[in-house]
Amino acid sequence: MIEIPRDAPGSIACGRSGLPLLASCGNGHRRLIPFRLLKTRDDDRTPLYGRPFKCRTCGSREVALFKIGSRAELEAVRATMPKAGEPARAPTTPGGEPRDPDADLP
């Protein structure tokens, strides 16, 4: 990974095959920022760090951005990040077991 300089323009994030950036705050919290959320384009000269980056965990605005160079590097980063909670599950029916629709028939 390569740290993005503080004065880098928004266009530095373009042309990277849609790979996300890694944001890391001073407290060690890390998260991936999807390319679509950056809202940049090839001719974007506004500072990339001028966007409102903020750590979701602690609220710090002191965030360092890193370029991820390849899909393999992205998978390695994902492997080191904390896992999200368990996948969502549909609620069960009352009583736990599904009701037999023919149970009321004589």
> So what's the pLDDT on residue 58?
86
In this structure, how many other beta carbons lie within 10 angstroms of the beta carbon of residue 67?
17
SS3 of 41-98: the string is: CCCCCCEHHHCCCCCCCCCCCCEEEEECCCHHHHHHHHHHCCCCCCCCCCCCCCCCCC
> So what's the pLDDT on residue 49?
78
Sheet holding 30-33, edge to edge: 2-3, 63-67, 21-25, 30-33
> So what's the pLDDT on residue 95?
56
The domain ranges of the chain are 2-80
Using alpha carbons, list the distances in angstroms from residue 17 to 5, 35, 37, 87, 90. 20, 9, 14, 28, 35
Helical (H) or strand (E) element with 9: none
Low-confidence stretches of the chain (pLDDT beneath 70): 13-17, 83-99, 101, 106
> So what's the pLDDT on residue 89?
56
> So what's the pLDDT on residue 91?
55
> So what's the pLDDT on residue 16?
59
